[in-house]
Amino acid sequence: MADMSAWQAGSQPKETPMDARTYKLIELVGVSNESYSEATQNAIARASETLRGLGWFEVTELRGLIQNGEISEYQVTLKVGFRLEEGKDAFSDRE
Backbone angles phi, psi at 94, to 5 degrees: -75, 150
- pLDDT, tens only, 47-92: 999 998 899 999 999 999 999 999 999 999 999 999 888 776 655 5
What's the CATH superfamily of 23-95? Flavin-binding protein dodecin (3.30.1660.10)
The reported pLDDT for the residue numbered 2 is 47
The reported pLDDT for the residue numbered 85 is 81
**What is the distance between the alpha carbons of residues 11 and 72, in angstroms, rounded to a whole number?**
63
Q: What is the pTM of this model?
A: 0.68
The reported pLDDT for the residue numbered 30 is 98
If one counts every other C-beta atom within 10 angstroms of the C-beta of residue 5, the result is 8
The reported pLDDT for the residue numbered 45 is 97
Q: Where in the chain are the domains?
A: 23-95
**What is the distance between the alpha carbons of residues 30 and 47, in angstroms, rounded to a whole number?**
10
Name the strand (E) or helix (H) holding 83: strand 70-83
**What is the distance between the alpha carbons of residues 22 and 83, in angstroms, rounded to a whole number?**
6
- pLDDT, tens only, 29-39: 999 999 999 99
